[in-house]
Structure 1
Amino acid sequence: MTQLERHMLAEDQRAPRPAPLDEAQFRWQINQDAMATEKLAEGIRGFHADQQRLEALVEQQLLQLRGTS
């Protein structure tokens, strides 16, 4: 039987988690990284567009259901 190569580390072999950030620290750090700021904004805009499409689809489905009753 072939041995499997281990790719994951045991809990005690992992690097420690970074210290938690408060909001001011997070905002400072993200504003220091232009790409992170742009990608976050892009994600928020994409999420909003998807939300708008979902709401339109749900409204369309509800109108169809009400029309057939």
Structure 2
Amino acid sequence: SLRINPEAKGEQTAAETGLLEKSLGKAQAKLRSEPKVEPNKVTAPYQLAKGEITNADLGNRITQMASELG
């Protein structure tokens, strides 16, 4: 389980960023900028590796990413 610091006040912690980057790496995608973390929602602009994965493939991976993040 992921431990959240209540004093962070909306700022993401290094552990949260690391888990997201790890999940994106498994999906063969990379972050284009810092993700926006909100309660029960993460918005992350990403770039797919050309010729290796499609948006549809990433859509199929989202459920797995959500379970990896907690």
Q: TM-score, normalised by structure 1?
A: 0.25
> Which structure features the higher share of helix residues?
1
Higher Rg of the two aligned structures = 1
Name which structure has the greater RCO, CA cutoff 8 Å, separation 6+: 2
> Which structure features the higher share of strand residues?
2
